[in-house]
Amino acid sequence: MAEKNLESYSAADIEILEGLAGVRKRPAMYIGSTNSTGLHHLVWEIVDNAVDEALNGFGNVIVITIHKDGSLSVLDEGRGIPVDIHKTTNMPAVQLIFSTLHSGGKFSSKVYASSAGLHGVGSSVTNALSVYCDITVFRDGKINHLRFENGGKLVTPLEVLGTTRKHGTLVRFKPDDKIFSTTNFQFDVIANHVQESAFLLKGVRFVVLDERTSQRGDFCYNEGLKEYVAYLNKDKTPMDEVISFDGEDSGIKVDIALQYCAKDYGESIYSYANNVRTRDGGTHESGFKMGITKAVNDYATENQLIRGKIKLEGSDIREGLTAIISLKIPEQMLQYEGQTKQKLGTPEAVAIVSNFIYNNMTYYLNEHKEFAVSLVKKCIDAQNARIAARKAKDEARSTRKAKVEMILSDKLTPAQSKDYDKNELFIVEGESAGGTARKGRNRIYQAILPLRGKPLNTDSISKERMLKNEEFATIINTIGAGFGEDFNVDNSHYGKVIIMTDADTDGAHIQTLLITFFYNFMKPLILKGKLFVAMPPLYRVSKEVNHKLVYRYAWDETDLERAKKEIGAGYRVSRFKGLGEMNDEQLWESTMNPASRLLCKVTIEDPVSAAREISILMGNDTVVRRQWVEENVNFNEIDTFVDEVK
Ligand code: 28F
């Protein structure tokens, strides 16, 4: 059949085409992404409409076929999508459903929100993002057919192909490879998804056929969640049968199945709202945890199974537990926390589920004494293990603390003040300079940590390897704010961490190694402007005036000229080759005294390029490094990471 000629496009047609064009312009807005995950969302949209029809009690077999031409079809045995002409748009209902961006909810009378992960943006999105979308409706004894192509353009208006005794809907679509990075359907992804749906939809049968490989999946669970738990625990040692309860309270349907396994120390709780997984839990899960904890504790107390007053904690009771919590919530009560709809927010669900599981579990425990006693015993063992583990951890921490204290005590010269913001830590190159700094410093708020030898290059080693290096372990424990992702700059014992090395190439290399360490393991210290490099002077210009020594320090050639002019004729210039050549008085006033020192703050101009630069500088690729150095370093300028502050 030819496409409709232009003048017959109605306003409704135009609006519809604009709607679907919008989907093609910004597909990710409708299906989250255009990678494999987004591709499979097209499948879930169609399957969910077939599921909704089964939920309404029409048909209980859904067949999904992956075809060789890259298309996929879904068949249900429902009533068949209506084909009667829709008054205002003068279009058959089925054409409207595949052309209009409506959530499924608007069209179907279902009480519960669509089961689609995207909450039913509807089949029209699948149509809009497909090369073709071919629909056959078996209804009223007729085989009705229509076809869209190229992103939802109607190419075959509704026609009758013949008669039939069947009823249901068949949708076949081929995703558009101009939209998707992959149009390769994955059998396992589809099979796993529909198997989960089968567990949630008692008695609905899902068949998945892959014509490319002849793979086949066939899922139907008449006991629903009970079989889901049994399936999850198939390789474990159950302590008892799968326990399941279902009921309704205040319009909310609750369906729970659970099972305990011996020698299983984890907990697996999966929750759903209207057959959509709530990955981040929410009010139904909180209610479940409260209710089951109370039920087991009350049973244990009433039967004198717990000694004394120590209550079993929730985690003790959930050790070895696998549970599925599935709620059906009417649209008007459905609330989520956050944007992703992965966490249920409906407030009533806490009390409803808590009372539900409390009452049912209490009844079950009283009816199954042997299991109940073994469960409480298992919980008491878990409690003892937890208490023992915590004691062991505290002991380990205190011994480690003692060990660290020992290391620190023989290395760190601490500041006397506890005003962490004002305190300054000088990380000094070499023991001798460390000694001079220790003598020269202001002992109230300046701490000295001398480093032995060159630190490791941390740009190419693991956290564990880094920690083995005593120098870094000492720095981490001295600063006291953790490291890596646990680093919290607000816990730092120092407002300034100052790297103080000789002003020679060795010193520069140590600076780079330390800056790399801080960049890799305490980046916020740099970002908050707490990392500095001390700038010991290169020269001292002096002369005797009336038996008094007058002098100036100079940090580079320009400074030197200025100092010579200030001191005037008869000056003497001494060159400092390293920190060790200064006495404590000179080191204090030239490099450590905030009133006269020069500090350079380590800053990260642009995180991405900094990361690149650090890895080039510290990486193993010397060619790339040499090229970077030639391009980026003017040898007469101070290090590119720093600008000068007091
Ligand atoms: C392979 C995908 O989409 N199946 C569907 C139906 C059945 C009805 C329906 C769908 C009511 C008026 C808008 C039929 N008879 N499978 C599917 N099966 N939608 S989608 O109705 C949609 C609304 O038009 C249906 C009576 N009531 C509903």
Measured from the CB, is residue 105 less than 6 Å from ligand 1?
A: no
CA dihedral 324, 258, 57, 108 (to 10 degrees): -20
pLDDT at 110: 37
> Is 218 an active-site residue?
no
Measured from the CB, is residue 126 less than 6 Å from ligand 1?
A: no
Measured from the CB, is residue 107 less than 6 Å from ligand 1?
A: yes
Cβ atoms 478, 514 nearer than 8 A: no
Query: What residues does 367 pair with on adjacent strands?
Result: none
Select from 42, 44, 53 the residue to mutate for testing ligand 1; criterion: most ligand atoms less than 8 Å from CB.
53
Measured from the CB, is residue 516 less than 6 Å from ligand 1?
A: no
pLDDT at 469: 82
Locate the ligand 1 atom nearest the alpha carbon of residue 171 and give its number. Answer: 1
Which position among 429, 459, 471, 613 bears the catalytic label?
Answer: 429
- Say which amino acid occupies 338: G
Between CA 233 and CA 226 the distance in angstroms is 11
Sheet of strand 539-545: strand arrangement: 548-554, 539-545, 572-575
Run of H or E including 429: strand 424-429
- Say which amino acid occupies 644: E
CA of 194 from ligand 1 middle (Å) equals: 20
Between CA 428 and CA 421 the distance in angstroms is 20
Overall pTM surpassing 0.85 (yes/no):
no
Cβ atoms 150, 131 nearer than 8 A: yes
Nearest to 108 by CA among 117, 99, 120, 118: 120
Return phi, psi of residue 130, to 5°: -120, 150
Residue 640 has pLDDT above 70, yes or no: no
Cβ-Cβ contacts under 8 Å for 576 (sequence gap 6 or more): 503, 536, 537, 538, 539, 540, 582
Measured from the CB, is residue 82 less than 6 Å from ligand 1?
A: yes
Locate the ligand 1 atom nearest the alpha carbon of residue 108 and give its number. Answer: 23
CA of 603 from ligand 1 middle (Å) equals: 62
Instruction: With H, G, I as helix, E, B as strand and everything else as coil, classify residue 361.
Output: helix
Q: How confident is the model over 200-258, as pLDDT tens digits?
A: 999 999 999 999 999 999 999 999 999 999 999 988 899 999 999 999 999 999 999 99
CA of 125 from ligand 1 middle (Å) equals: 16
Cβ-Cβ contacts under 8 Å for 277 (sequence gap 6 or more): 117, 196, 270, 271, 342
Q: How confident is the model at residue 109 (pLDDT cuts 50, 70, 90)?
A: very low
Q: Name the residue at shortest CA distance from atom 4 of ligand 1.
A: 50
Nearest to 527 by CA among 420, 613, 607: 607
- Say which amino acid occupies 423: N
Sign of the torsion angle spanned by Cα atoms 311, 313, 314, 318? negative
Q: Please tell me the chain's helix, strand, coil percentages from 3-state DSSP, rounded to the nearest 5.
A: 40, 25, 35
Least confident of 120-129, 268-277, 427-436: 120-129
pLDDT at 619: 59
Measured from the CB, is residue 210 less than 6 Å from ligand 1?
A: no
CA of 78 from ligand 1 middle (Å) equals: 8
Cα atoms in the 13 Å half-sphere on the side-chain side of 308: 2
Measured from the CB, is residue 618 less than 6 Å from ligand 1?
A: no
Between CA 537 and CA 528 the distance in angstroms is 26
Which position among 159, 504, 557, 566 bears the catalytic label?
Answer: 504
> Is 394 an active-site residue?
no
Cβ atoms 192, 206 nearer than 8 A: no
Sign of the torsion angle spanned by Cα atoms 224, 227, 233, 239? positive
Query: What does the block give as tokens for 274?
Result: 């209207």
Between CA 316 and CA 300 the distance in angstroms is 13
How high is the mean pLDDT of the chain? 87
Cβ atoms 345, 252 nearer than 8 A: no
DSSP E strands in 140-280: the ranges are 142-149, 153-163, 168-175, 205-210, 215-219, 237-238, 243-249, 252-262, 268-273, 276-277
Instruction: With H, G, I as helix, E, B as strand and everything else as coil, classify residue 31.
Output: helix
> Is 149 an active-site residue?
no
DSSP 149-176: ETTTEEEEEEEEEEE-S--EEEEEEEE-
CA of 188 from ligand 1 middle (Å) equals: 28
Run of H or E including 373: helix 369-409
Select from 79, 127, 194, 208 the residue to mutate for testing ligand 1; criterion: most ligand atoms less than 8 Å from CB.
79
Residue reference for tokens 């202001």 = 442
Residue 118 has pLDDT above 50, yes or no: no
Between CA 218 and CA 206 the distance in angstroms is 6
> Is 246 an active-site residue?
no
Cβ-Cβ contacts under 8 Å for 25 (sequence gap 6 or more): none
Mean pLDDT of 516-536: 92
Locate the ligand 1 atom nearest the alpha carbon of residue 170 and give its number. Answer: 1
Q: Name the residue at shortest CA distance from atom 9 of ligand 1.
A: 81
Query: What residues does 448 pair with on adjacent strands?
Result: 413, 426
Query: What residues does 207 pair with on adjacent strands?
Result: 63, 218
CA of 620 from ligand 1 middle (Å) equals: 63
CA of 389 from ligand 1 middle (Å) equals: 57
Residue 114 CB burial class (10 angstroms; 0-12, 13-18, ≥19): buried
Q: Name the residue at shortest CA distance from atom 15 of ligand 1.
A: 79
Least confident of 147-156, 189-198, 467-476, 528-537: 467-476
Measured from the CB, is residue 238 less than 6 Å from ligand 1?
A: no
pLDDT at 2: 45
Measured from the CB, is residue 138 less than 6 Å from ligand 1?
A: no
What value, to the nearest 5°, has the Cα angle with vertex 468 and ends 466 and 474?
85
CA of 97 from ligand 1 middle (Å) equals: 9
Cβ atoms 330, 112 nearer than 8 A: yes
Nearest to 123 by CA among 131, 111, 135: 135
Q: Name the residue at shortest CA distance from atom 2 of ligand 1.
A: 50
Measured from the CB, is residue 108 less than 6 Å from ligand 1?
A: yes
CA of 109 from ligand 1 middle (Å) equals: 10
Q: Name the residue at shortest CA distance from atom 10 of ligand 1.
A: 81
Sign of the torsion angle spanned by Cα atoms 409, 412, 414, 419? negative
Between CA 554 and CA 393 the distance in angstroms is 53
Residue 353 has pLDDT above 60, yes or no: yes
Mean pLDDT of 246-274: 94
Instruction: With H, G, I as helix, E, B as strand and everything else as coil, classify residue 56.
Output: coil
pLDDT at 578: 85
Residue reference for tokens 């087991």 = 296
Between CA 135 and CA 125 the distance in angstroms is 14
Measured from the CB, is residue 122 less than 6 Å from ligand 1?
A: no
Measured from the CB, is residue 46 less than 6 Å from ligand 1?
A: yes
What is the number of residues in the chain? 646
Neighbours of 199 (CB within 10 A): 27
Measured from the CB, is residue 365 less than 6 Å from ligand 1?
A: no
What value, to the nearest 5°, has the Cα angle with vertex 360 and ends 357 and 362?
100
pLDDT at 610: 56
Which position among 149, 223, 267, 506 bears the catalytic label?
Answer: 506
Measured from the CB, is residue 74 less than 6 Å from ligand 1?
A: yes
Mean pLDDT of 295-303: 96
Least confident of 139-153, 166-180, 330-344: 330-344
Between CA 326 and CA 224 the distance in angstroms is 11
Between CA 189 and CA 187 the distance in angstroms is 6
Q: How confident is the model over 444-468, as pLDDT tens digits?
A: 999 999 998 778 888 767 777 888 7
Measured from the CB, is residue 316 less than 6 Å from ligand 1?
A: no
The better pLDDT of the pair 640, 309 is held by 309
Measured from the CB, is residue 61 less than 6 Å from ligand 1?
A: no
Between CA 628 and CA 526 the distance in angstroms is 22
Between CA 24 and CA 7 the distance in angstroms is 24
Measured from the CB, is residue 604 less than 6 Å from ligand 1?
A: no
Q: How confident is the model over 377-397, as pLDDT tens digits?
A: 999 999 998 888 888 878 877
Measured from the CB, is residue 532 less than 6 Å from ligand 1?
A: no
Cβ atoms 254, 246 nearer than 8 A: yes
DSSP class of residue 99 equals: H
Select from 62, 71, 81 the residue to mutate for testing ligand 1; criterion: most ligand atoms less than 8 Å from CB.
81
Between CA 127 and CA 146 the distance in angstroms is 12
Between CA 102 and CA 16 the distance in angstroms is 11
Mean pLDDT of 574-589: 90
Which position among 134, 176, 471, 502 bears the catalytic label?
Answer: 502
Return phi, psi of residue 388, to 5°: -65, -45
CA of 222 from ligand 1 middle (Å) equals: 25
Q: Name the residue at shortest CA distance from atom 3 of ligand 1.
A: 49
Share of the chain above pLDDT 70, in %: 87
